[in-house]
Structure 1
């Protein structure tokens, strides 16, 4: 038994939705829980810096790279099963696949997630959401692995201490293995229609033709990041290959050759200009790691 697939000096632009950024010293892609346990035990014993990633849709690795181990919880952890009005999905299952399974089984409540380009583990970690819904409204139980790989345990939705784009896991180290959703029975055609409507809205209003990490900034209380950015006159502003989307100001997009440095410089420019214009300091929703 080993750690799984190992990629030395892995170019992280190939594993993240921004299609930008540096390398990691080692990328580990475990294929089962035994390999994940082995990996985490070794990381703890060696006291190596580490980062746990899902589908790579909400992270950016700085151009200098990440000096440790990145562990990717991917398609080997993507089994989905249905029992009554509950769905249990392994952490690597894509949100669109979980939403499709829910629809096929006439279960409503997860339509909002069908267009979010991430994994359910990442979504449960950060309380991802869209269209006035989020994970805290549908999660029942989260199964976790302790960071040293020694034990698996569960947390209820109350114990996850969800808030806007946050959970207790942002302060407490653990790896999500699976998520149980509590949904409700409904008409399959109505569920499919709602999913189509939401995804049509998304295609019309979001710059899906360019690499990005979705909404770059957290929504400030009582406002919208995109509205503030647009009001500051920043739609279409660029730094290097990174641009504030002309379609939706809440998105920073990679026009094709952006470096992580371009994206971060544009982020800082947006933060500075919006603060000057409105007095509000925008916080990134995207997790930026590395040197």
Structure 2
């Protein structure tokens, strides 16, 4: 591991740190250290890093803005790759938008709406990155990434890059092929958008922002929706009906605003959150005979 760390530092690929606390890189403000943490300054730097990681046969994990993650208190083994400022180029030709995986989704949706293009209104309050959104097929307000994505540029663990079409991404509810069958990093995405009425698009964006502001606890450290909705039922409604709204374990609390959010009240650990997740699962199953599945990605040492 030390040999890899030194090679990464010597390669001038971007930020390279040892034992970096991942609580600094997740919206829930929870997470132990990464053995090695890198934030590449270019796509080429990312590819160089991956080649070194593969050569040294070290495990790796990719993150974006850390908005859908619960990281173990013991951290993550191997290398954590954060896609940020070095992988956030943007190029637009009419309704064809090509954007780097590190670009913030909210900022992208706002920028595109000001240009008078429709398709990203649903993303106006999703606090993740483009890469993370594509990876998990993020969505809200009746739409999701699968409705607008044309292709995704993926970096695979062997260091090879490949463009996957929408069909090849095998999207389903909050899922893509990258989560299980073909693990990889979304370094770029191409979206197909439609020219529309700028005022109507902006109004829709504002409505979505206001809805999230009024119903979801984004002023508190959280990771977005904790559970997938067991359609046609909704996880938040089930949890609230079970009397768990505001319920706390340690420093973690089921939000008083929305039952499908767990917030960090200041000193929560991953263990606190996991215990609260299990309590919610057990209570909902015992009361309603419904099994809740987590939407938040739980990663790191167990």
In structure 2, the residue matched to 1:49 is 59
Aligned residue among 223, 237, 241 for 2:233: 223
Equivalent-residue separation in structure 2 for 1:42 and 1:268 (angstroms): 38
3-state SS in 2 of match to 1:215: coil
The answer to whether 1:155 aligns with 2:164 is: yes
Query: Where does structure 1 lack aligned partners over 5 or more consecutive residues?
Result: none
Superimposed CA distance per residue, residues 16-64 of structure 1 (whole angstroms, 9 cap, x where no aligned partner): 0000121111111111122111111111121111111111111121111
**Are the counterparts in 2 of residues 23 and 61 from structure 1 also a CA contact under 8 Å?**
no
Equivalent-residue separation in structure 1 for 2:263 and 2:220 (angstroms): 6
Aligned pairs for 1:2-151 within 5 A? 2-149=12-159, 151=160
Query: Where does structure 2 lack aligned partners over 5 or more consecutive residues?
Result: 1-10
Superimposed CA distance per residue, residues 225-251 of structure 1 (whole angstroms, 9 cap, x where no aligned partner): 101111111101000110000110010
In structure 2, the residue matched to 1:263 is 273
Question: 4+ runs of 1 displaced by more than 6 Å?
Answer: none
Aligned residue among 281, 284, 287 for 1:274: 284
In structure 2, the residue matched to 1:210 is 220
Equivalent-residue separation in structure 2 for 1:76 and 1:43 (angstroms): 19
Aligned residue among 239, 242, 245 for 2:249: 239
3-state SS in 2 of match to 1:243: strand
Aligned residue among 178, 201, 212 for 1:169: 178
In structure 1, the residue matched to 2:204 is 194
3-state SS in 2 of match to 1:213: coil
Q: CA deviation at 1:3?
A: 3.8
3-state SS in 1 of match to 2:228: coil
Q: CA deviation at 1:146?
A: 2.4
**Are the counterparts in 1 of residues 228 and 293 from structure 2 also a CA contact under 8 Å?**
yes
**Are the counterparts in 2 of residues 235 and 245 from structure 1 also a CA contact under 8 Å?**
yes
Q: CA deviation at 1:152?
A: 2.1
**Are the counterparts in 2 of residues 22 and 260 from structure 1 also a CA contact under 8 Å?**
no
3-state SS in 1 of match to 2:19: strand
Please provide the CA RMSD for this pair. Answer: 1.1
Q: CA deviation at 1:221?
A: 2.4
Q: CA deviation at 1:141?
A: 1.0
Q: TM-score, normalised by structure 1?
A: 0.97
Length, aligned pairs only: 290
